[in-house]
Amino acid sequence: MRRAVGVATIAVLLSGMTVGAATLRVPDEFPTIQAAVNAANAGDVILVGPGVHEETVTIRQRSELTLRGVNTLPILDKVPCWRLASDVLGQVVISGSVIIDASERIAIEWLTITGPGPGIWVGGTASRPADSVEVRFCNVVCNEEGALVLTEHYRRLSFACSNACLNTGSTDPWRTAAGASEEIDVLVTCSVAYARGVEPGELEESTPVVVAVVDSGIDRTIPGLSCHMWINPGEIPGNGVDDEGNGYVDDVYGWDFEDEDADSLSGSPLHWHGTFVAGVIADVVGEAAIRLTPEDPTPTALRLMDLRVLDRQGLYYTSDWEDLARAIDYAVANGAQVVNVSLYATQEPPGFVRDAFLRAVAAGVLVVGVAGNSADELGPIANWEEVLTVAALTAENEPALFSNVGSQVDLAALGVGVLSLIPGGVLHVASGTSFAAPRVAGLAVLHLAQTPGLTGAALEQLLKAESLDVGDAGWDMETGWGKLH
């Protein structure tokens, strides 16, 4: 009998986008983008033809609209997609602003937006905030008004595979009104901000930092994650040969230990958890990328290694202990510097599992784990000294009610109401220590990009030293050394 010994997380999922109902073409069917917006119904896609469209587009009190520039560019998985987005410059241009007011589930894709005025303005009212706005493969060339202006009435905004131009090196491209929503409601992945005079296509990334995501698999087809995937340099995909001889055939993005195949997207369906965790790591790196300055314009190259051990329900079993150990060994053997393990155990694993964790730490790898979500004492794995155990906080820096406590809690991070992506690329909000740990992993990535070669032990000391003391003064059982990020 297969007995569940571990579970991924708890979570609350919210709404998603439906498939487009009709296509409206500008200028073939409608003279202006605004005319098409006015005629569109929920679910419709507005295709904007090449050229410069001199208008400000207002999307007011609408639901489920996609505004998409027609382009000839392929989506390449080996090119950072923010760099690809820079190629949309000059293809489909809105010379004006895009105003998204009291609307929800709006997608803006493959457009260059130049102003005058703010590039994209997002807002609403207290009773109808702007919600689930997704900006993908866009170039937003801001002027003094800002690339992206967010008022206090917005929720859940994703800026994926897109560029924002800073007018000056000191200007934050994100201008938020006083009392704006929590910053966490903006998800930034595969994106950069750049100073005027710099072309995003010219930006060179840092030396890649590899994070193994030991989880339920990653939907790497999502624009906001595609540019962040680790690609095994020695493996030729799909030839049925273990080209570089690491013991795994055609393992391009990692390995699916649940199906015993090379691909999380084949075989048994993905549980959303691993994609969500990957999105959180990408967001931490993405937030740093929007604060790049002319003095230090180097985006951090994050590479996510996809190691699937959880099944379609986000569970694993006693029969999977060996897979967990193999996944940790795979991560170390194939160059991961950080391993994120957002899962926990309800019974003590066999010794060989802990041996794998100990081998990883001995190799200088940082292993980030979770306190767990049962409002109880730390369980196995969380309780291991070699794991950097992360507890969950609310947005008010209070320990989350579900977050486990104990003497091995090291750090805490936001784990309630976290915004990220699920398979298919839809924005969702979820809670759990599973989503606190990847914030810490993401910060470790930023340190490694700045200081290549840092060991896991050195990283752990850095992260603890920069944490903000919360909860009881000093180290405490609920929040460890304190809050990160």
293 binds Ca ion (CB under 5 A): no
Distance, CA of 142 to CA of 147 (rounded, Å): 4
Pick the closer one to Ca ion by CB: 201 or 267.
267
SS3 category, 129: coil
The two tokens of residue 6 are 């571990």
Reported in sequence order, the residue ranges of 79-231 that DSSP labels E, i.e. its strands, are 92-94, 98-101, 104-109, 112-113, 120-123, 130-136, 139-141, 148-150, 154-160, 163-166, 174-176, 186-189, 192-195, 209-215
Query: CB-wise, 10 or 333, nearer to Ca ion?
Result: 333
Nearest distance from residue 306's CB to Ca ion, in Å? Answer: 10
- For Ca ion, the closer of residues 246 and 455 by Cβ is 246
- Please identify, using beta-carbon distances, which residue of 397 and 455 lies nearer to Ca ion: 397
* Cβ atoms of residues 471 and 394 within 8 Å: no
Report how far residue 337's alpha carbon sits from residue 433's, in angstroms, rounded to the nearest whole number.
21
Shortest gap between Cβ of 263 and Ca ion (angstroms)? Answer: 5
Nearest to 389 by CA among 376, 374, 400, 403: 403
By CB under 5 A, tell whether 23 contacts Ca ion: no
Residue 47 CB neighbours (<10 A): 18
Residue 185 vs 235, nearer CB to Ca ion: 235
Residue 460 C-beta: closest distance to Ca ion, Å = 17
Q: Give min distance, CB of 257 to Ca ion, in A.
A: 10
Minimum distance, C-beta of residue 250 to Ca ion, in the bound complex (Å): 4
Among 49, 169, 267, 294, binds Ca ion (CB under 5 A): 267
Contact map string, positions 231 to 250, toward Ca ion, x by CB under 5 A: ----xx--x-xxx--x-x-x
362 contacts Ca ion (rule: CB under 5 A):
no
Cβ closest to Ca ion, residue 95 vs residue 221? 221
Is residue 215 at the binding interface for Ca ion, with CB under 5 A as the rule? Answer: no
Q: Please identify which residue in 205, 322, 398, 469 interacts with Ca ion, judged by CB under 5 A.
A: 469
Beta bridge partners of 210: 303
- Tokens representing 76 are 């390449």
Told to check if 251 binds Ca ion by CB under 5 A, we report yes
Is 341:379 a contact under the CB 8 Å cutoff?
no
Residues that bind Ca ion (CB under 5 A): 235-236, 239, 241-243, 246, 248, 250-251, 256, 259, 261, 263, 266-267, 469, 471, 476
